[in-house]
C-alpha cells in the first residue's frame, strides 16, 4: 500500500492525498496511513498547514461496506479503530484543511469533520447515510456533526440519512468555504490564510449544542417522525439517542455511547438485512450465462404500444431518460386520454418539486403520439402495453415483426401471459422479451425482465443495461405464469381472503401486515389494483381449478356487486372522492352472511397468525420458484419484493426473512397449515430439504453458484 496515502509539499503546506480507487473507501490500512502522515507533518517544522484531499473522482465516499459484515463475525468495531486517528488529526498542531469533491459520506464525513476546516466544490455532497444500512455513524459522527451543524441539522442528517449539497453544508456550518475553480488551488489558498492561527478542534466546539429546552423539542419531533415514517425501524432512533449523548455528556463519554449504539445496530437483524439488500441490488445485475462482455444493441429510440395506465407511465420513464418515444393508440380519443394523463402526472411531479417545468416540457416534446405503425421501422425497441389478452398480443407482435427493422427488440409488458407464446407469433423469437414494469411505472423501481426460451443473450444484456438508464432495478426472471412477483402474490392475497372468511377483520388483516412493515395491507392493495382484475382471470381459468381445493370467494362476490376497489369508490373498503379509505360496515355484514351460508366456522384470529399465514404463503411459493429455476437466486426474489411490493427493506425480503426466522421453524408452521387447510399449503420440496439440512435459502443459492 505504498501510494494509497501520499504527502507532497506545496510552499509550506503539506498535501495529503488519499488514493484508493474507485471511491477512496476507508479500507483497512488507509486510516493508519493518514495517522502516519499527520505525525510526519507535526514533526516537520517547514510545514505550516496541511490539506487532506481525495485523488480521483471523489473524497472518501464512505467506509468499505464489506467491512461491516466482517465486523459482525470478528467483533471488531469500525469506530473504535477510527477514533484515535480522528483525535490525532484534531490534535495536529498545524491546521488541517479537508478539501471535498464528489461525496463525503459516512466515514468520509467523519474523517472530514476531524479536520480543523473544510472546503468543498459546489457539486460536492456530504452526509451520514448509515441509517440506510441499519447503522449509525460509528466514528464520532453523531458527536462532531451537532457541534458543527447544530442539533437539528445533525438529527436530520443522521436519522434521515439524506445527503446535503455543499451549499447547504456551508449554511449548516459543516464546511467553511465553497471553492470555485480548482479545488486543490482553493484549498491551498485557504490553508495559507489559516496557517499560524490557532486551529479549532471540532470536539471542543460546544457553542451550537443548544439548550435543553430547544433540544427536547428537536428530539421529540424527530423521534415521532422516525416512528411514523419507518415504524419498527431502530437505527434512526439510535442515531437520535447518540446525538442526545452529544448534548448531555462530555465528548469522550458521548463517543462511548455512540460506540455502544453502533455495535447494537451492527449486530441487529435489521442491519444485516439492509446490508443484504445493498449487495443484493448489485448481485441481481449478474447473470451467470450472460457475461459482462456480451455485446448490447444500441437503443436510441423506442415505441410504446398502448397509452393506458402502463403504456403512459412507460413512455414517461423513457422520455425522462432522454429517449424519443412513439406512443401508439387505437383511436384519437384513447390517444388524447393517454396524453392528458401523462400531462397530469407530469404537472403533479412539478408541483411536488420532483421535476422542473423546463424538464417536463422537454420530456413531453420527446413523446410523439401516433395512430399507426408508420415510423416503427426506425425504432430500436418496442414495448407493448395493450390489454392483457393472448390473441390481441399475438396479433400486435405479428404486426410489429412485419413493420420493425431486423434487430429491433420487441418487448411485452404482460403481467401473466407466456412470452414464448407471444414470441411464437414472430419470426424473431430471439428478439422477444418481457419487460414487466410495475404500476405506477414512472415511480416504481422494479422491472422484471422476462427471459423466453429463445431470447438471446444480447437482448437480455441490452434490457438489463437499459434498466439502469431508466433508473430501475431490473431482475431477470423465467417465463412462468405471473413470473416471480405476481406468482408469489397470488398465494399471499389468497391467504388474506381466507382469513377474512375464517373470521379475521378486514382492517385487522391489513393492520397486521402493515405492523410487520408492508407498505400496504393485502386487501387495501387489492382495492388499489382493482379487484376485478383477479376476478376476470379467475373466471377465465375456473375450468383449470382442481376440484375439492378450497378457493376464496368473497372477493368475487364483491365484484359481482360492482365493488371493484378504489376505481368504483368501494371494494374491501369505501373511498371518498380523494380516494381516502374508510372501513365499510356493509362489507363486514355481507361477508358474515356469505360465510354463514357457506358454513365456514368463525374464530378469533390473532395478528401473529395473520402475518404467518400471508408471509409463509409467499415464502413457500418463493421456494418453489427457486427450485424450478424461475428466479436465479433467493436474493433476486427479495429484491423483487422490496422494489415492487412494498416489502420492508429492514426485513431483507421474504426469502431473507424466512432465513432469519429459521427454515426449520417456517417449515414446521407450513406443515401445521397444511394439516389445517389442506392442499394449497403443501410444503415446497426445497423448503423441506433445506429445513432438514438446517440450511438457508441464501446458502442454497451460494451452493448452486459454486456448482454452476
Ligand atoms: P389499460 O387498459 O390501462 O391500457 C391498455 C391500452 O391499450 C388501452 O388504452 C387500449 O386502447 C390500448 N390498446 C389496445 N389495443 C391496442 C392496439 N392495437 N394498438 C394500440 N393500443 C392499443 O391497461 P394497462 O393496465 O395499462 O395494462 C397494459 C398491459 O400491462 C397489460 O398487459 C397488463 O397485464 C400489464 N400490466 C398492468 C399493470 C397494472 O397494474 N395495470 C402492471 C403491470 C403490467
| Centroid of ligand 1 to alpha carbon of 441 (angstroms) | 12
**Lowest-confidence segment of 501-505, 541-545, 645-649, 661-665 by average pLDDT:** 541-545
pLDDT tens digits along 337-348: 999 999 999 999
Q: Verify whether ligand 1 is closer than 6 Å to residue 334 (CB atom).
A: yes
Burial environment of residue 295 by CB neighbours within 10 A (0 to 12, 13 to 18, 19 or more): exposed
Q: Which of 345, 386, 396 to mutate to test the pocket of ligand 1 (most atoms within 8 A of CB)?
A: 386
Q: Verify whether ligand 1 is closer than 6 Å to residue 341 (CB atom).
A: no
Averaged confidence pLDDT in the chain: 95
Confidence grade of residue 533 (pLDDT, cut at 50, 70, 90): confident
**Lowest-confidence segment of 32-36, 67-71, 209-213, 351-355 by average pLDDT:** 67-71
Atom of ligand 1 nearest to the CA of 412: 32
Over residues 614-639, mean pLDDT: 98
| Centroid of ligand 1 to alpha carbon of 308 (angstroms) | 5
Confidence grade of residue 631 (pLDDT, cut at 50, 70, 90): very high
Q: Verify whether ligand 1 is closer than 6 Å to residue 385 (CB atom).
A: yes
Query: From CA 242, how far away is CA 4, in angstroms rounded?
Result: 32
pLDDT at 242 over 80: yes
Query: From CA 592, how far away is CA 503, in angstroms rounded?
Result: 8
Nearest residue (CA) to ligand 1, atom 40: 439
Q: Which residues contact 511 (CB under 8 A, 6 or more apart)?
A: 521, 607
Over residues 606-614, mean pLDDT: 98
| Centroid of ligand 1 to alpha carbon of 703 (angstroms) | 40
Q: Which of 306, 313, 371 to mutate to test the pocket of ligand 1 (most atoms within 8 A of CB)?
A: 306
Query: From CA 555, how far away is CA 522, in angstroms rounded?
Result: 12
Residue 540 is predicted with a pLDDT of 76
Query: From CA 269, how far away is CA 635, in angstroms rounded?
Result: 16
130 is catalytic: yes
Phi-psi region of 555 (alpha: psi -120 to 50; beta: other; left: phi over 0): alpha
Query: From CA 514, how far away is CA 584, in angstroms rounded?
Result: 19
pLDDT at 423 over 50: yes
Query: From CA 553, how far away is CA 530, in angstroms rounded?
Result: 16
294: its cell numbers? 456480451
pLDDT at 388 over 50: yes
Atom of ligand 1 nearest to the CA of 437: 43
Query: From CA 435, how far away is CA 459, in angstroms rounded?
Result: 11
Confidence grade of residue 542 (pLDDT, cut at 50, 70, 90): confident
| Centroid of ligand 1 to alpha carbon of 387 (angstroms) | 4
* Share in percent of the chain as helix, strand, coil (round to 5): 55, 10, 35
Helix axes 506-516, 607-628, angle to 10 degrees: 60
Over residues 469-496, mean pLDDT: 97
Confidence grade of residue 107 (pLDDT, cut at 50, 70, 90): very high
Atom of ligand 1 nearest to the CA of 328: 20
pLDDT at 86 over 90: yes
Nearest residue (CA) to ligand 1, atom 3: 308
Residues forming beta bridges with residue 302, ordered by sequence position: 325, 381
| Centroid of ligand 1 to alpha carbon of 502 (angstroms) | 35
| Centroid of ligand 1 to alpha carbon of 388 (angstroms) | 7
Atom of ligand 1 nearest to the CA of 396: 18
Q: Verify whether ligand 1 is closer than 6 Å to residue 486 (CB atom).
A: no
pLDDT at 266 over 70: yes
Residue 481: how many other CB atoms lie within 10 Å = 13
DSSP string, 358-423: HHHHHHHHHEEEESSSTTGGG-SEEEE---S-HHHHHHHHHHHHHHSPTT-EEEE--SSS-HHHHH
Q: Which of 329, 337, 387 to mutate to test the pocket of ligand 1 (most atoms within 8 A of CB)?
A: 387
Contact 531, 506 (CB under 8 A): no
pLDDT at 629 over 70: yes
Owner of C-alpha cell 446535503: 164
| Cα distances (Å, whole numbers) of residue 212 to 141, 151, 172 | 21, 11, 20
pLDDT at 213 over 80: yes
Q: Which long-range contacts (CB under 8 A, 24 or more apart) does 240-245 make?
A: 240/155, 240/158, 240/159, 242/136, 242/137, 242/142, 242/143, 242/158, 243/142, 243/145, 243/146, 243/151, 243/154, 243/155, 243/158, 243/219, 244/215, 244/219, 245/142, 245/143
Contact 183, 284 (CB under 8 A): no
Q: Verify whether ligand 1 is closer than 6 Å to residue 261 (CB atom).
A: no
pLDDT tens digits along 29-81: 899 999 999 999 999 999 999 999 999 999 999 877 777 767 666 545 555 57
Q: Verify whether ligand 1 is closer than 6 Å to residue 54 (CB atom).
A: no
Confidence grade of residue 248 (pLDDT, cut at 50, 70, 90): very high
| Radius of gyration, alpha carbons of the chain | 29
372: its cell numbers? 399507426
Residues forming beta bridges with residue 100, ordered by sequence position: 120
pLDDT tens digits along 296-309: 999 999 999 999 99
110 is catalytic: yes
Which residue out of 90, 130, 283, 621 is catalytically annotated? 130
| Centroid of ligand 1 to alpha carbon of 467 (angstroms) | 20
pLDDT at 5 over 90: yes
Confidence grade of residue 541 (pLDDT, cut at 50, 70, 90): confident
Q: Verify whether ligand 1 is closer than 6 Å to residue 329 (CB atom).
A: yes
Which residue out of 110, 156, 384, 495 is catalytically annotated? 110
Residue 1 is predicted with a pLDDT of 42
- Helical segments of 101-211, H only: 107-114, 141-149, 151-160, 166-172, 183-194
Phi-psi region of 119 (alpha: psi -120 to 50; beta: other; left: phi over 0): beta
| Centroid of ligand 1 to alpha carbon of 444 (angstroms) | 17
pLDDT at 195 over 80: yes
Q: Verify whether ligand 1 is closer than 6 Å to residue 473 (CB atom).
A: no
Q: Which of 303, 304, 307, 311 to mutate to test the pocket of ligand 1 (most atoms within 8 A of CB)?
A: 311
Over residues 605-609, mean pLDDT: 98
| 631 vs 544, higher pLDDT | 631
Q: Which residues contact 510 (CB under 8 A, 6 or more apart)?
A: 520, 521, 522, 523, 524
Nearest residue (CA) to ligand 1, atom 4: 308
| Centroid of ligand 1 to alpha carbon of 682 (angstroms) | 35
pLDDT at 138 over 90: yes
Q: Verify whether ligand 1 is closer than 6 Å to residue 414 (CB atom).
A: yes
Q: Verify whether ligand 1 is closer than 6 Å to residue 305 (CB atom).
A: yes
Q: Verify whether ligand 1 is closer than 6 Å to residue 308 (CB atom).
A: yes
Contact 666, 660 (CB under 8 A): no
Owner of C-alpha cell 384470529: 605
Q: Verify whether ligand 1 is closer than 6 Å to residue 142 (CB atom).
A: no
**Lowest-confidence segment of 58-62, 484-488, 547-551 by average pLDDT:** 547-551
Query: From CA 527, how far away is CA 574, in angstroms rounded?
Result: 9
pLDDT at 85 over 90: yes
**What percent of the chain is predicted at pLDDT more than 70?**
98
Nearest residue (CA) to ligand 1, atom 36: 415
Tell me which residue of 402, 399, 349, 408 sits closest to 378, measured CA to CA: 408
Contact 652, 271 (CB under 8 A): no
Tell me, what DSSP letter sits at residue 569?
A: T
Residue 170 is predicted with a pLDDT of 98
| Centroid of ligand 1 to alpha carbon of 57 (angstroms) | 44
Over residues 650-674, mean pLDDT: 98
Residue 557 is predicted with a pLDDT of 97
| Cα distances (Å, whole numbers) of residue 259 to 32, 112, 468, 530 | 20, 19, 37, 49
Query: From CA 198, how far away is CA 564, in angstroms rounded?
Result: 71
Q: Verify whether ligand 1 is closer than 6 Å to residue 393 (CB atom).
A: no
Query: From CA 207, how far away is CA 16, in angstroms rounded?
Result: 30
- Half-sphere exposure in the Cβ direction for 287 (13 Å, CA): 28
Tell me, what DSSP letter sits at residue 180?
A: P
| Centroid of ligand 1 to alpha carbon of 307 (angstroms) | 7
**What percent of the chain is predicted at pLDDT more than 90?**
90
Amino acid at each position: 500500500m505504498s501510494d494509497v496515502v501520499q504527502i507532497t509539499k506545496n510552499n509550506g503546506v503539506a498535501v495529503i492525498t488519499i488514493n484508493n480507487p474507485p471511491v477512496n473507501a476507508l479500507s483497512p490500512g488507509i486510516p493508519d496511513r493518514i495517522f502516519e502522515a499527520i505525525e510526519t507533518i507535526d514533526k516537520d517544522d517547514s510545514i505550516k498547514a496541511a490539506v487532506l484531499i481525495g485523488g480521483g473522482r471523489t473524497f472518501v465516499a464512505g467506509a468499505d461496506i464489506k467491512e461491516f459484515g466482517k465486523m459482525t463475525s470478528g467483533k471488531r468495531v469500525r469506530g473504535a479503530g477510527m477514533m484515535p486517528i480522528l483525535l490525532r488529526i484534531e490534535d495536529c498542531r498545524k491546521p488541517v484543511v479537508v478539501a471535498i469533491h464528489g461525496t463525503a459520506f459516512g466515514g468520509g464525513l467523519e474523517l472530514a469533520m476531524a479536520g480543523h476546516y473544510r472546503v468543498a466544490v459546489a457539486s460536492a455532497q456530504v452526509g451520514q447515510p448509515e441509517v440506510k444500512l441499519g447503522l449509525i455513524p460509528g466514528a464520532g459522527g453523531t458527536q462532531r456533526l451537532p457541534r458543527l451543524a447544530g442539533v437539528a441539522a445533525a438529527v436530520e442528517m443522521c436519522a434521515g440519512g439524506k445527503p446535503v449539497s455543499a451549499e447547504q453544508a456551508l449554511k449548516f456550518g459543516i464546511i467553511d468555504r465553497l471553492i470555485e475553480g480548482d479545488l486543490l488551488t482553493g484549498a491551498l489558498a485557504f490553508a495559507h490564510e489559516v496557517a499560524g492561527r490557532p486551529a479549532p478542534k471540532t470536539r471542543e466546539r460546544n457553542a451550537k449544542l443548544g439548550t435543553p429546552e430547544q433540544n427536547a423539542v428537536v428530539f421529540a419531533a424527530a423521534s415521532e417522525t422516525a416512528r411514523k415514517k419507518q415504524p419498527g425501524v431502530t437505527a434512526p432512533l439510535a442515531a437520535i439517542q447518540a446525538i442526545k449523548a452529544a448534548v448531555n455528556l462530555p465528548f469522550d463519554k458521548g463517543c462511548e455511547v455512540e460506540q455502544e449504539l453502533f455495535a447494537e445496530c451492527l449486530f441487529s437483524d435489521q442491519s444485516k438485512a439492509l446490508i443484504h439488500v445493498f449487495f443484493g441490488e448489485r448481485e441481481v445485475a449478474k447473470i451467470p450465462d450472460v457475461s459482462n462482455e456480451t455485446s448490447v444493441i444500441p437503443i436510441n429510440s423506442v415505441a410504446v404500444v398502448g397509452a393506458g395506465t402502463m403504456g403512459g407511465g412507460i413512455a414517461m420513464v423513457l422520455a425522462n431518460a432522454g429517449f424519443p418515444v412513439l406512443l401508439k393508440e387505437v383511436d384519437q380519443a384513447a390517444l388524447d386520454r393517454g396524453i392528458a394523463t401523462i400531462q397530469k402526472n407530469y404537472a403533479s411531479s412539478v408541483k411536488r418539486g420532483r421535476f422542473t417545468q423546463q424538464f417536463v416540457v422537454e420530456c413531453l416534446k420527446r413523446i410523439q403520439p401516433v395512430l399507426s405503425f408508420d415510423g416503427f421501422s426506425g425504432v430500436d425497441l418496442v414495448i407493448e402495453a395493450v390489454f392483457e389478452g393472448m390473441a390481441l398480443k399475438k396479433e400486435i407482435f405479428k404486426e410489429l415483426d412485419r413493420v420493425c427493422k431486423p434487430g429491433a427488440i420487441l418487448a411485452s409488458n404482460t403481467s401473466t401471459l407466456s412470452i414464448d407464446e407471444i414470441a411464437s407469433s414472430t419470426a424473431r423469437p430471439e428478439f422477444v422479451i418481457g419487460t414487466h414494469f410495475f404500476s405506477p411505472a414512472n415511480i416504481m423501481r422494479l422491472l422484471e425482465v422476462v427471459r423466453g426460451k429463445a431470447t438471446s443473450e444480447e437482448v437480455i444484456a441490452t434490457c438489463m443495461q437499459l434498466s439502469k438508464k431508466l433508473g430501475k432495478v431490473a431482475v431477470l426472471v423465467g417465463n412462468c405464469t405471473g413470473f416471480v412477483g405476481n406468482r408469489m402474490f397470488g398465494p399471499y392475497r389468497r391467504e388474506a381472503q381466507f382469513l377474512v372468511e375464517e373470521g379475521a377483520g378486514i382492517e385487522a388483516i391489513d393492520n397486521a401486515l402493515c405492523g410487520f412493515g408492508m407498505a400496504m395491507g393485502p386487501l387495501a392493495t387489492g382495492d388499489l389494483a382493482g379487484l376485478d382484475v383477479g376476478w376476470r382471470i379467475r373466471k377465465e381459468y375456473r375450468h383449470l381449478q382442481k376440484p375439492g381445493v378450497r378457493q376464496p370467494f368473497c372477493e368475487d362476490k364483491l365484484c359481482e356487486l360492482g365493488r371493484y376497489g378504489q376505481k368504483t369508490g368501494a371494494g374491501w373498503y369505501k373511498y371518498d372522492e380523494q380516494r381516502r379509505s374508510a372501513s365499510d360496515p356493509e362489507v363486514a355484514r355481507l361477508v358474515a352472511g356469505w360465510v354463514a351460508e357457506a358454513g365456514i366456522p368463525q374464530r378469533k384470529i390473532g395478528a401473529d397468525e395473520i402475518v404467518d399465514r400471508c408471509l409463509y404463503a409467499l415464502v413457500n411459493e418463493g421456494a418453489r420458484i427457486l427450485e424450478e429455476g424461475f428466479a436465479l437466486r433467493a436474493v433476486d426474489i427479495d429484491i423483487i419484493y422490496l422494489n415492487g411490493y412494498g416489502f420492508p427493506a429492514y426485513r431483507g425480503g421474504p426469502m431473507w426473512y424466512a432465513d432469519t426466522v429459521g427454515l426449520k421453524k417456517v417449515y414446521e408452521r407450513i406443515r401445521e397449515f397444511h394439516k389445517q387447510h389442506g392442499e394449497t399449503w403443501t410444503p415446497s420440496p426445497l423448503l423441506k430439504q433445506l429445513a432438514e439440512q438446517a440450511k438457508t435459502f441464501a446458502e442454497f443459492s451460494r451452493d448452486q453458484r459454486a456448482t454452476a
